[in-house]
Amino acid sequence: MAVFTRSYPMDVDDELADDLDRISALPDDLLHVILSILGDATMVTRTAVLSRRWRRVWTHAQKLSFVDTDPKIRAKPGQFGGFVDWALAQRGDDNIQSLSISMPTSDSATPEQINDWLRYAMQHTIKTFKLCSPYHSSYETDDDHPLPILELPSNARTTSIELRLSSFRLRLPVSPSARYEALTELNLRSMCFDEEEAGARTLGDFVSTCCPRLRKLEIWGLKKLTQLVLCTEALEELDVNYSNDLQKLDVNTPNLRVLGIKLFIISLPLIDENSNKHLVVGIVAPMLEEIDMHIWADRHMHICIYTIEQAFAISGTLAYACADSTRAILTTVYGSSRTVLTSSI
């Protein structure tokens, strides 16, 4: 039978309330578990008023979720960003298992604050980090006033990262020594990707060279992502959705099992017959098991998927909707030296 003892003496107030407050008698490790279940950062920090015993317990909670549910009722601008800054500062250099920050728009914080949170998370978050601001902010204007930059640090300890920031340009680390050794899941949504801003480092290069353990990559609605070239052994799941500026998707992944591609490429200027600006998809994936491919397009496309060992285990959906100007779509799945699935338009 486990015996719990206090880590430090009680004060008089604690002794009087001891019979009513048995939770406070638990060791810190169990209190941190309780706070992790609670999750919401506002509620977690409010436990500090319960007693002296609780005053600093929350600063070691292993799961925090900051949510700006209704910015219109905030007492003053910047209140949410200031609260997140304060809460993270109280933790010092302590690690945290899970950190989530969600805002309706990026107006809830300054670009400098958001970049600070990202750097903090990459240094201190062990398992999962989510930074979400799905709607456009007031500082998104036009080409003369470009979107602010979200800059990934050169190193991270985090296992799973989800970034959904519609009002930012993503800048990847340019250092040759950049490493995301622990990263197994990466989910990028809605951001603007510009290779010039990335110092000529492409997203495919970042994944292939900096993320040796990445098993799952999800991409949703990235703007200005014109190519994705992946050569990685660890990747098992790839989902590319509505990144409609893509011109080239080239994947060489010996352990890829699940492939999803959804693209909507309509209302583009007609492409000259001699132009190279058509969509080319090439997949080399000998262990591929599932395909879910939906493409709506009015440009020339050539899609080839090569499999070897698991050719006859492939299942999934291939769907196309084409404009009148579509010249050709060719989709071929090869396996065991013979064609097992061919679709052409």
Q: How far apart are CA 196 and CA 194, in angstroms?
A: 5
> Which of 243-252, 312-321, 336-345 is predicted most confidently?
243-252
Given this model, what pLDDT does residue 90 score? 84
Given this model, what pLDDT does residue 44 score? 56
Give the mean pLDDT of 141-169. Answer: 88
Same domain, yes or no: 290 and 212: no
Is there a contact between 329 and 301 (Cβ–Cβ < 8 Å)? Answer: yes
Tell whether 56 is covered by a domain.
no
Same domain, yes or no: 109 and 164: yes
Least confident of 62-66, 198-202, 225-229: 198-202
Same domain, yes or no: 167 and 262: no
Which of 225, 254, 282 lies at the terminal end of a domain, its last residue? 225
Least confident of 61-70, 130-139, 168-177, 303-312: 303-312
Tell whether 88 is covered by a domain.
no
Backbone dihedral angles phi then psi of residue 12, each to the nearest 5 degrees: -60, -40
User: Does 305 score more than 60 pLDDT?
Assistant: yes
Given this model, what pLDDT does residue 244 score? 85
More confident residue, 84 or 302: 84
Least confident of 68-72, 211-215, 311-315: 311-315
Tell whether 34 is covered by a domain.
no
Given this model, what pLDDT does residue 274 score? 44
User: Does 99 score more than 90 pLDDT?
Assistant: yes
User: Does 23 score more than 80 pLDDT?
Assistant: no
Confidence grade of residue 282 (pLDDT, cut at 50, 70, 90): confident
Same domain, yes or no: 193 and 272: no
User: Does 336 score more than 80 pLDDT?
Assistant: no
Same domain, yes or no: 129 and 217: yes
Given this model, what pLDDT does residue 177 score? 94
User: Does 325 score more than 90 pLDDT?
Assistant: no
Give the mean pLDDT of 48-56. Answer: 56
Given this model, what pLDDT does residue 290 score? 87
Same domain, yes or no: 244 and 209: no
Give the mean pLDDT of 217-227. Answer: 93
Tell whether 208 is covered by a domain.
yes
Tell whether 167 is covered by a domain.
yes
Structure tokens at 281: 């998809």
User: Does 338 score more than 60 pLDDT?
Assistant: no
Neighbouring CB atoms inside 10 A of 288's CB total 27
Confidence grade of residue 9 (pLDDT, cut at 50, 70, 90): very low
Please give the residue range of the domain that contains residue 268.
Answer: 227-345
Same domain, yes or no: 220 and 231: no
pTM: 0.78
What one-character-per-residue DSSP string does 139-197 give? T---TTSPPPEEE--SB---SEEEEEETT-EEE----TT-B-TT--EEEEES-EE-TTT
Same domain, yes or no: 191 and 102: yes
Please give the tally of structural domains in the chain: 2
Amino acid at 283: I
Which residue carries 């190519």 as its tokens?
227
Given this model, what pLDDT does residue 303 score? 76
Same domain, yes or no: 271 and 309: yes
**CB-neighbour burial class of residue 139 (10 A; exposed 0-12, middle 13-18, buried 19+):** middle
Tell whether 256 is covered by a domain.
yes
More confident residue, 324 or 93: 93
Mean of pLDDT over the chain: 76
Tell whether 325 is covered by a domain.
yes
Tell whether 287 is covered by a domain.
yes
Q: How far apart are CA 196 and CA 204, in angstroms?
A: 14
Give the mean pLDDT of 248-258. Answer: 93
Which of 225, 244, 277 lies at the terminal end of a domain, its last residue? 225
Same domain, yes or no: 262 and 325: yes
Confidence grade of residue 273 (pLDDT, cut at 50, 70, 90): very low
Host H or E run for residue 205: helix 203-210
Q: Any idea how long the chain is? A: 345
Q: How far apart are CA 314 and CA 322, in angstroms?
A: 25
Angle at 210 between CA 206 and CA 212, to 5 degrees: 120
Which of 225, 245, 273 lies at the terminal end of a domain, its last residue? 225
Same domain, yes or no: 214 and 198: yes
Same domain, yes or no: 200 and 243: no
